[in-house]
Structure 1
Amino acid sequence: MDEPIHITSEIGKLKTVLLHRPGEELENLTPDYLTDLLFDDIPYLKVAQAEHDAFAEVLRNHGVEVLYLDQLVAEALSTDQLREQFVDEMLAASKQDSRRVTQTLRQFLLDLPTHAMIRKIMAGVRKDEITLPPDQHQQLHNMIEKNHYPFYLDPMPNLYFTRDPAAAIGNGLTVNKMHWTARRRESLFMRYIIDHHPRFANRVPVWYNRTEKFSIEGGDELVLSDKVMAIGVSERTTAEAIEKMATKLFAGSNFKKVIAMEIPKSHAFMHLDTVFTMIDRDKFTIHPEIRDRGGKMNCFVLEKVEGQPFPRITHETDLEHVLRVALGLPSVTLIECGGGDPIAAAREQWNDGSNTLAIAPGVVVTYDRNYVTNQKLREQGIQVIEVAGAELGRGRGGPRCMSMPLVREDVF
């Protein structure tokens, strides 16, 4: 398998994964700006890094090649021209391309070594890190006095959730238009990797681009087989984006069906993978609250029609039936987060009890704190590998959120 990206399921043996080790961007979180930066709490960086290192080591111990986002970007920016282009695009995406401080900020970044520059862009640039020329200082003085916001360049604390800015599907990927402004810049890193890194350049079709109008995020994108996807219609992924992505995917790949699953639009249920994941050929985790009291939920099945430019769309409400038909299975098992207990389910879903990362069929990585759900998984024959996530979980994401699989072995 010589493709740089090859994902035909959620459960095939994981061969290569993209991670981001959290850095100083977490230390630039303060209570005043948590909501704007999509956090509920401030992780303790030292412990978060130790937890993340242990997570990466678990993956390596199971034969997974671990790549890091900052290193790939640094390798992609191989010329001065690319460095300058990247900084200019990042400043424009940060809405810093037309201010008096822009040139000073630009030069501050370009004076850094490439890897340090990337980490600084990720961490954010504080106002007290830059000395402005006297003319700029005078012009900006009154404005700065009225605006106590501490950053010229906002931090990107959500970056360790590498699942969202881009998602691998088949031999290509979506480079995502993120829903919230706080995360919009993140997908620019992946754009430079696939355009300029020698491992990926000119080898990766793009099913959806970050410049599109409608938002879509990787936490909503699940590859169920080599022909079927599930995508959440959620707080952060729109129906319009799903239809546009599916149309291009059907035209350029072997995929024939996309199941759009409507989930509650809330911060607690921000992505499909926080409430539903695939863990074996016929087994899934699910948070019971995404279905009504009769066990129904809205599913819109988009199917490729030969000779037609747009997919056929049908409406279903029986999730088990939809999954059985799509995957050609006689039955499926839905394992409820928290064992279905309303208190345990709510608590463990908040702590990413449904956000499992399968590294092989029936083998998953989960947070150790979700002990009720983990026990239910084991009772269904799933091998559960637990990792600590007391600090990482403060960002509202689990092992699946923190990983972007690039290569898996085929299982279907």
Structure 2
Amino acid sequence: MEMVSPSNRLELLFDDILYVGHAKKEHLLMCAVFEKIVGHSDAVLQIGELLLEAFQSEDARYDFVERLCQSLPEANLQAVEDDLKRLSPEELHRFALTGESDLPVMTLPVPNLMFTRDLAAVVHDRIIMSHAATSARTRESIIIHVVLHHHPRFEDVQDNIIKLPKGVTFEGGDLLVASPETVLIGHSERTSFGAIMAIAHELFEHTPVEHVLAVDLPKIRAMMHLDTVFTFASPDECVVFPPVIENDSFGYCVHLTASGTEGKFVTDMRLSFRSALEELLEREITFVKCGGGERLQQEREQWTDGANVFTVGPGAIIGYERNRRTFEGLRDRGYRVVKAESFLSYFEDSDYTPGAEKLAIQLAGTELSRGRGGPRCMTLPIARTTS
């Protein structure tokens, strides 16, 4: 993150430069909240640590280097491919994250790795690999490939990894699991309709999913993924950015269901995302407005990820404190709003019981929000339980 500069920030997909020391403290605080709610210290895995552990295997290092050379031919890494393969696990780890090494070659860093949500998506027992839409994030797709295929933690799920065909793009921020039978996927700046079709085919074939809603989004950076304008706070409550989600000009969707014939779907156009969602979930959904009722405040708080809340556990969600009007809407829905520090202090000597009350936790996020991604963007859940 410290390698993002005014001259390369746009190439690295950043609108601003973070004060890294403060951003790190905010990130660690967020992780501490996750660990308290989940209930054990191993609740949070760091992608950088997983990659270094995977690189202890020579096969993993070779796989990473070969895929990197193939994926970024313009970087001319083939000229030092053998040298890259001879790097130690620590040296290759440094190169993978920063682009720096003692070799006569340098590539850009991968600061977007903080947004782990986009690397993959887990639906039931399947892991859908990302296909990054931008070259700035290509190396991240290779990193998650190496972790999933070479780290011992994921040895038992090798047969459950879904690899998408070439030519399509998909990032995990566009996929939301609405119910065991229903998945939502944004047709966005970063996810192509071809990827949605490929994902739907795999889910219909291998999981209990029966419905995929492809939600049309404006193809602009401000709303790059579905979870920048729509997230679940509870099974029947969602935080939404009204100008997109409640606007029929943008909010139409395509409903995909299996046809009974392999590789073919039944598709129908829906002009109202909300009515389609309520029909499939068979219940009414309350839309909590990101930014409240005023258009200007909705745009301001969507820009700072007011609609990007993350449900850590039953009745417990987390978002950025600066989105005040969004939290006011949640309070009106019966959520008790608390700061992350107060939450951890209160439960310092006791366990937290998810579901005991509706809790909206405020993370300061003054620096993290400059990266244009909220708590949901910075998480990739790999296991969920209802127990």
1:400 matched to which residue of 2?
A: 376
Question: Which amino acid is 1:396 matched to?
Answer: R
**TM-aligned CA deviation for residue 390 of structure 1:** 1.3
The gaps in structure 1 that reach 5 residues or longer are 1-25, 133-150
The DSSP-based 3-state class of the residue aligned with 1:407 is coil
Given candidates 297, 302, 326, the residue that maps to 1:349 is: 302
1:215 matched to which residue of 2?
A: 169
- Give the TM-score normalised by structure 1: 0.82
Pairing of 1:75-86 with structure 2 (within 5 A):
75-86=53-64
**TM-aligned CA deviation for residue 116 of structure 1:** 4.9
Given candidates 162, 176, 181, the residue that maps to 2:130 is: 176
Alignment partner of 1:374 is 2:330:
no
Pairing of 1:39-118 with structure 2 (within 5 A):
39-63=14-38, 65-95=43-73, 98=76, 102-103=80-81, 106=84, 110-112=86-88, 114-118=89-93
- Give the TM-score normalised by structure 2: 0.87
**TM-aligned CA deviation for residue 229 of structure 1:** 0.3
**Is the 2:69–2:77 Cα contact (8 Å) retained in structure 1?**
no
**TM-aligned CA deviation for residue 241 of structure 1:** 0.8
1:102–1:131 Cα change, 3 Å: closer
Alignment partner of 1:334 is 2:287:
yes
The DSSP-based 3-state class of the residue aligned with 2:223 is coil
The gaps in structure 2 that reach 5 residues or longer are 336-358
The DSSP-based 3-state class of the residue aligned with 1:224 is strand
Pairing of 1:113-128 with structure 2 (within 5 A):
114-125=89-100
Identity %, equivalent residues: 32
Could you tell me how far apart the structure 1 residues matched to 2:63 and 2:124 are?
A: 30
**TM-aligned CA deviation for residue 160 of structure 1:** 0.3
Given candidates 259, 268, 272, the residue that maps to 1:314 is: 268
Could you tell me how far apart the structure 1 residues matched to 2:83 and 2:370 are?
A: 31
Please list the CA deviations of residues 287-317 of structure 1 after superposition, one character each: whole Å capped at 9, or x if unmatched. 0111465687211110123344312111111
- Which stretch has the larger CA shift, 59-68 or 218-227? 59-68
Q: Which has the higher contact order (CA 8 A, sep 6+)?
A: 1
1:295–1:334 Cα change, 3 Å: farther
Could you tell me how far apart the structure 2 residues matched to 1:193 and 1:273 are?
A: 24
The DSSP-based 3-state class of the residue aligned with 1:355 is coil
**TM-aligned CA deviation for residue 394 of structure 1:** 1.2
Could you tell me how far apart the structure 2 residues matched to 1:174 and 1:351 are?
A: 27
Could you tell me how far apart the structure 2 residues matched to 1:131 and 1:189 are?
A: 20
1:224–1:101 Cα change, 3 Å: same
1:130 matched to which residue of 2?
A: 102
**Is the 2:60–2:146 Cα contact (8 Å) retained in structure 1?**
no
1:272 matched to which residue of 2?
A: 226
Alignment partner of 1:227 is 2:199:
no
The DSSP-based 3-state class of the residue aligned with 1:376 is helix
Please list the CA deviations of residues 326-353 of structure 1 after superposition, one character each: whole Å capped at 9, or x if unmatched. 1121x11111111121111111100000
Please list the CA deviations of residues 170-201 of structure 1 after superposition, one character each: whole Å capped at 9, or x if unmatched. 11111111111100121112212221222212
**Is the 1:279–1:358 Cα contact (8 Å) retained in structure 2?**
yes
